Amino acid sequence: MRNLLVGWLILLAIFGIASASSVSILNTSLSQLNATAITPNSTYQYLNTTYSVNVTDNVTLTNIFWYFNNTLLNSSNITSQNITNGTFNYTFNYNFTGTYPLTFIAEDILNNSVNSTQNITFNQYILPSVSTITPTNSTVNVSQIWQVTATAGSFPIKNITWDFQNNFFYDMGFNGVNYQAYAFNQSGFFNTVVQVCDVNDFCSQSQTNLYIASTTPTSYWEVNNANLILNLTPPNQEMMTLTFIPNNDTNPIGQVQVNWGDGSPIQDVLFPSGTTQYTFVHQYGYVGSYNITVTTCDTIGNCYSQFIATVNYKQNVVGNIGQLLANTNPNTNEGSVFTQALNSFTSILGITVSTAIGSFFFVIVIFMLGIILVIIFSLLFYKFFVK
């Protein structure tokens, strides 16, 4: 009987101790943490893309991590949010093409974690492009319908922007061909830019040199005299001095543009007040035939275009030295005193500068002139000093 009583007392003591302190033991097997596959699995380089994954659990989530190509992109502690499930997003862009792993990791309060990895393919981003710009010329003060044909890249085209003389025209609509009406108020060459953008605002542009012809206004400035000096040896630098006179124009010259005809940028000079003469310098780099044209505009926009000269850049047959020969219009004073004198002398022999320079016969002529000068100086020296 005594032993039975002691047993009951021991059981009561154990029960009292157990009830006096609540003890809990974590059981990680109670976690039901799951994550879906990451979407999307492909995108384009440079394009901001949002990636999503859904997570479910029966206990509170604590941390999430995003890794790209085994490099940590972002991490966040979400314990304070007391959430057990939801959709988690992350946005970033990548500037290379290829396929790379993107990994999402979630953890909960039971120290369980789940891993979701997706291979993301980054495709090449192809920009929209301008195919053609037509026409390439018009007439001053004539409203012309300019047309651009464009090709979409990775995404549809959203808009086209035209730039005429720093005047911008923005068109939201596009169906493969875009039109814009515009009248140039000056003649000459104009670098016109067309920009095409897609729905993601990724853009490319194309430029063309439009030529706008003059309608010969009632009053304008024109070239009265063009003195073209050609350097017949490398670097083949040309100097062209233009003198301008008014044709029934009471306004001063405002601007002169020179097109050297070789595809180089139009040489554009703003004239200081009272200036009627200017020397332009240019250097041709390749053999060819080039037409030089000049457009003169007064201060109120009356412009007049003139052909000045045709420059034939040939290759010397002796020593491979570059040779420049010029055929010009009547307004051009190409014949310098030296050239005229040389042509007069060589005409006796049946040749001209244009055929003599670079020829073996021309070398003989120069050699003969040298001998004659030596003889003359020898006779003069003998007459005045020896006698």
Residue 21 falls inside a structural domain: no
For 12-69, write each residue's pLDDT tens digit: 444 444 444 444 445 556 789 999 999 999 999 999 999 999 999 999 999 999 999 9
Residues 201 and 302 in one domain: no
Last residue within a domain, chosen from 91, 123, 155: 123
> What band does 144 get if pLDDT is binned at 50, 70 and 90?
confident
Residue 118 has pLDDT above 80, yes or no: yes
Residues 191 and 235 in one domain: no
Last residue within a domain, chosen from 95, 123, 151: 123
Residue 305's domain is classified under what CATH number? Answer: 2.60.40.10
Residues 239 and 318 in one domain: yes
> What band does 348 get if pLDDT is binned at 50, 70 and 90?
very low
CB 187 within 8 A of CB 304: yes
Residues 134 and 203 in one domain: yes
Residues 100 and 49 in one domain: yes
Residues 119 and 133 in one domain: no
| Rounded CA separation 46/201 (Å) | 12
Residues 206 and 159 in one domain: yes
Residues 254 and 357 in one domain: no
| Rounded CA separation 244/279 (Å) | 12
Higher pLDDT, 70 or 360: 70
Using alpha carbons, list the distances in angstroms from residue 372 to 93, 162, 240, 342, 364.
82, 67, 34, 15, 12
Percent of the chain scored above 70 by pLDDT?
Answer: 74
Residue 371 has pLDDT above 70, yes or no: yes
Residue 8 falls inside a structural domain: no
Residue 17 falls inside a structural domain: no
Owner of token pair 């124009």: 249
| Rounded CA separation 370/361 (Å) | 14
Residue 189 falls inside a structural domain: yes
Q: Is the peptide bond before 40 cis (omega within 30 degrees of 0)?
A: yes
What DSSP designation does 343 have? H
Give the bridge partners for 53, in sequence order: 88
Residue 15 falls inside a structural domain: no
Using alpha carbons, list the distances in angstroms from residue 23 to 98, 173, 287.
54, 72, 98
pTM of the model: 0.50
Owner of token pair 């596009």: 174
Element (H, E) at 362: helix 360-381
Higher pLDDT, 325 or 226: 226
Residues 251 and 327 in one domain: yes
Query: In the numeric block, which tokens belong to residue 135?
Result: 């026409």
Per the structure, the count of domains in the chain is 4
Residue 279 falls inside a structural domain: yes
| Separate counts of helices (H) and strands (E) for the chain | 4, 24
| Rounded CA separation 62/113 (Å) | 10
Residues 103 and 183 in one domain: no
Residue 22 falls inside a structural domain: no
Residues 225 and 201 in one domain: no
Residue 203 falls inside a structural domain: yes
Containing domain of residue 322, as a range?
Answer: 220-334
Last residue within a domain, chosen from 88, 104, 123: 123
Beta strands 61-68 and 49-56, pairing class: unpaired
C-alpha dihedral (253, 254, 259, 265), degrees to nearest 10: 160
- Mapping DSSP to helix (H, G, I), strand (E, B) and coil, where does residue 26 land? coil
Residues 178 and 92 in one domain: no
Give the bridge partners for 71, in sequence order: 68
